[in-house]
Chains A and B, each alone.
Chain A
Amino acid sequence: MATSLSASLPLARAGLQSACGSMSGAFPSALGLRAFGAPHRYCAPVPKPYDFRRRNGLLRPRQRQTFLHTHFTGSDVTENRVRELISGDEAIARGAFEAGISVATGYPGTPSTEIIETIHASYPSIYAQWSPNEKAALEVALGAAMGGARALVTMKHVGLNVAADPLFTAAYTGVQGALVVVTADDPQLHSSQNEQDNRWYARAAKIAMLEPSDSQEAKDFVLKAVEMSERFDTPVLLRITTRIAHSEGIVEFGEPSTARPAAAFKPRRDKYVMIPAYARKRHKVVEERLSAIQAFGETSELNRIERGSADLGIIASGVVYEYAREASPEASMLKLGLTYPLPAALIRKFVSSVKRCVVVEELDDILTTEIRATGLEVEGKAPAFRLGEFNVDRVRAIVNGSDREPETLTVAARPPALCAGCPHRAAFTVLKKCKAIVTGDIGCYTLSVLPPLEVMESCVCMGASIGMAFGLRKALPPDEARRVVGVIGDSTFFHSGVTGLMDAVYNGATGVVMILDNRTTAMTGRQGHPGTGEALTGNGKAVSIEELCAGLGVANVAVIDPIDVKSLEAEVRAAMKRDGVNVVVARRPCILLERPKHRRRARVTAEKCKVCGLCVATGCRAIVKGEKSVSVEPAVCMACGLCVNICPTGAIAIEE
């Protein structure tokens, strides 16, 4: 199939137009793309193409950030001391500004997202960008650091898995300027697929790690990290957890750095080109550097002993220090801020000075094991406490030597659900009707696993849906393999779905992939991504999903508005029968992207309703099942039109 990409392509712009007829003729058939014919009964008007210029830096949901930082007159300014009440993420952004960071990169990931958002909104002197994924982000930052700049990259804990490749070798190359890698872990999995403990990365990659305990330290430790990065020629890991990232505390601001990076590039091929001959020498440097940093940690103010009772000593770091301080106010405390490499001599001195020493740490028993390995006798925690985040009550239980959870209130959480009007609801309703076996991915659409949709069978990591779909097909009998559909979001696709798709085409596979293109990175707060071209830099360029697929050699690409359930169903069924790789792009903007100016709502004509339950089965929170008829909650309904299209008797209509 000839794929002449020089053919005029209004596709990218046509993408946002409604699939209801206006796209027919817009797809050159030479690219194997097809349009869809007559419009169905109802298709909600799609908001105009999203104006990202209006948004950049000026309309953050928490407007307060912009107000307080850029137009700062000071909540509390006394004798040139400026104090503010801010979150850990905001504090890191402020720290980046004070430390002279000039390049900041990342990929959105709770709870780290607000760091780059605040840097962009409040400190325009810092170049800030979102990258398609964390590996790319770290590489951009590493390049800047190699060139002498002070660079910072942010990500959530699993993001470091993606960035691990450059991270490990960056320990060998070191930096010319400075490189701070922020990892925001998520004990308790408030919004993650695992609660991995990224303190392991410091050990495995042989990179120093700092762990702040509150907002003030979150800011101060960025400066410390830059200092250490420059002094020891190493990237530095700065690890926070959700409670630090999203809790607010009082921070005293300092003066911004006036340092400037070196004027010219300094070649050091033996340091940056890691062929075996050079890398072998660098490994030696890495080991020596760790010893030097350990010696530094023995006397650094990052680690401190707080003298209290000689009967009980507690070793803690991060936010756990705060819980321990409150749980045992009378205990002696060794607070560790530099948690790798550990200050062995300081720890020995502390443990010997108390009768009983308890190491209190969330998740894995890293400190406990390492301290015991030096021959010291310390108490750790019972296995039950390896799960979830801590609080004052759990720390108290650990310090008391308990092996059971304390009696505390557990509240039945109201489960999250897709918003009313979410286009994903339509796509999954169709997939369910087609009896698709869905390998899923990470984003708002993961919520389709919950009742009543319950139509996602797997979700492992960013981009896994596509590879897993084609892998699953190889294991299943043909009639089931046919029904496998890999479902991935637009941002997720650009993050790490492209290689999975490329794999399938290159290896001559057959299968169906659905890309849910809601024109944003929704779950983390609607950031831009390469598919939308909405970039913090202000001059982003959009990558067209369908052109990318065509370029990869995908046999069939269809672009459909998921609300047009009839067309979507027809295409999914047809794709399931076709050979080769089939991509269905279900494109419709996230309902939260733009507040609708209309007051349209769906309304049910009770006499026509047979209470068949099809609309209720979509799981839309606006639809209420009654005895004689279904009704729509006007306060919740966003007039997307899905129920209108699903209803077999035409009982629902959109009204002003």
Chain B
Amino acid sequence: MLFVGVGGQGVLKASDVLARAAFLAGLAVKKSEIHGMSQRGGGVTSTVRFGETIHSPLAPSKSIDFLMALDRVEGEKYIAELAEGGKALFIDDDLVRKLEDPRVANIALLGRLSTELDIAEDIWDKAIAMEMAPKFVAMNIQAFKTGRRQR
């Protein structure tokens, strides 16, 4: 999975939750990100790879199964990296309207992704609880379920 966006959209946080969920599910996980420029308006990307065994933390060219685009402009740049049959998920206004706060759109998108993966919902809940500050957990779990239910 490749998460892309601009600083402040929760790109890294969303990838943290996914990596945590895959780890809790007992899979091998490697995650790679370039951060540091996010505060200064730069693009942010994070790659999460999971499966039986993972060697490279970076995804080879054209091997992305799911592109999670939290920003449309950034997302368009990476479409070419999708593998055969890979999917790009963008945040749409429909989804954002259903949310309590637009800032949890990243987790809602994760919810949408979760329908494509074979990870149990209670593992997702646990992953969110582990990666978020306690006062934000409920709101994020809500956002996740909203995204998961949306088709």
| Residues in A lying within 8 Å of B, measured CB to CB | 63-64, 67-68, 75-76, 83, 85, 110, 190-191, 214, 243, 246-250, 319, 322-323, 325-327, 391-393, 396, 406-409, 411-419, 444, 447, 523, 592, 621
Evaluate contact between A250 and B29: CB separation under 8 angstroms: yes
Chain A, Cβ-Cβ closest to B48? A248
* Bound Cα distance A404, B21 (Å): 39
Evaluate contact between B42 and A393: CB separation under 8 angstroms: no
Evaluate contact between B23 and A76: CB separation under 8 angstroms: yes
Is there a chain A Cβ closer than 8 Å to B117's Cβ? Answer: no
**B130 / chain A contacts, CB cutoff of 8 Å:** 64, 67-68, 75
Evaluate contact between A85 and B41: CB separation under 8 angstroms: no
A211 smallest CB distance to B (angstroms)? 16
* Bound Cα distance A75, B24 (Å): 7
* Bound Cα distance A319, B30 (Å): 12
Interchain residue pairs with CB less than 8 A apart (20):
A85-B19, A214-B30, A243-B32, A247-B32, A248-B57, A249-B29, A250-B28, A322-B56, A322-B57, A326-B60, A391-B60, A392-B58, A407-B61, A409-B78, A409-B80, A411-B43, A414-B6, A414-B74, A416-B42, A417-B41
Evaluate contact between A411 and B24: CB separation under 8 angstroms: no
CB-CB under 8 A for A248 and B42, given A325-B55, A408-B61? no
Q: Chain B contact residues (Cβ within 8 angstroms of A): what range?
A: 35 or more
CB-CB under 8 A for A248 and B77, given A63-B133, A322-B57, A415-B42? no
Beyond the given pairs A248-B32, A326-B56, 11 more chain A to chain B contacts, judged by CB atoms under 8 angstroms and listed by A's residue number, are A63-B133, A85-B20, A110-B36, A191-B37, A247-B31, A322-B55, A391-B56, A393-B61, A409-B61, A411-B43, A414-B41
* Bound Cα distance A246, B34 (Å): 8
**A64 / chain B contacts, CB cutoff of 8 Å:** 16, 130-131
A253 smallest CB distance to B (angstroms)? 14
CB-CB under 8 A for A416 and B37, given A75-B24, A323-B56? yes
* Bound Cα distance A172, B140 (Å): 56
**A247 / chain B contacts, CB cutoff of 8 Å:** 30-33, 57
B54 smallest CB distance to A (angstroms)? 8
Is there a chain A Cβ closer than 8 Å to B150's Cβ? Answer: no
Chain B, Cβ-Cβ closest to A592? B39
A65 smallest CB distance to B (angstroms)? 12
Lowest 8 A-B CB distances belong to which pairs? A247-B57, A416-B40, A392-B60, A248-B31, A416-B37, A247-B32, A322-B55, A326-B55
Is there a chain A Cβ closer than 8 Å to B121's Cβ? Answer: no
CB-CB under 8 A for A418 and B55, given A64-B16, A412-B77? no
**A190 / chain B contacts, CB cutoff of 8 Å:** 34, 36
Give which listed residue, B33, B37, B43, B61, contacts A246 with CB less than 8 A. B33
B69 smallest CB distance to A (angstroms)? 13
**A243 / chain B contacts, CB cutoff of 8 Å:** 32, 57-58
* Bound Cα distance A322, B57 (Å): 8
**A406 / chain B contacts, CB cutoff of 8 Å:** 61
Is there a chain A Cβ closer than 8 Å to B149's Cβ? Answer: no
